[in-house]
Structure 1
Amino acid sequence: MSGIYIHIPFCKQACHYCDFHFSTSMKKKEEMVLAIAKEIQMRKSEFKNDPSESEHAKQTVETIYLGGGTPSVLTSEEINFLIAAVYSNYSVIENPEITLEANPDDLSEERIIELSKSKINRLSIGIQSFFEDDLQLMNRAHNSAEAKKCLEEATKYFDNISLDLIYGIPGMSNEKWKQNIETALSFGIPHISSYALTVEPKTALNKLIQTGKIAAPKDDVAQEHFAVLVEMLEANDFIHYELSNFGKANYFSKNNSAYWLGKKYIGIGPSAHSYDGVSRSWNVSNNSIYLKSIQENKLPNEIEILSITDRYNEYIMTGLRTIWGVSLDRIEIEFGSDYLEYLNKQSQKFLDDNLLFIENNILKPTPKGKFLTDGIASDLFYLNLE
Structure 2
Amino acid sequence: MPRTSRVIAASLTAIALACGPTIAAATGELNLYSSRHYDTDERLYSDFTEATGITINRIEGNADELIARMEAEGVNSPADVLLTVDTSRLERAKNAGVLQQIDSAVLETRVPANLQDEDNQWFGFSQRARIIFYDKADVAEPPMSYVDLADPKYAGQVCHRSSTNVYSQTLLAAVIENFGVEAAKSWAQGVVDNFARTPQGGDTDQLRGLVSGECDISISNTYYFARALRKDVSDLSSDIDKIGWVFPAQNAEGAHVNLSGGGVAKHAPNRDNAILFMEYLTSDQAQQYFSAGNDEYPAVPGVAISASVAKLGLFKADTADLSKVAKNVPEAQKIFIDVGWD
TM-score by length of 2: 0.26
Larger RCO, structures 1/2 (Cα 8 Å, 6+ apart): 2
Look at both structures and tell me which one has the larger radius of gyration over its CA atoms.
1
TM-score by length of 1: 0.23
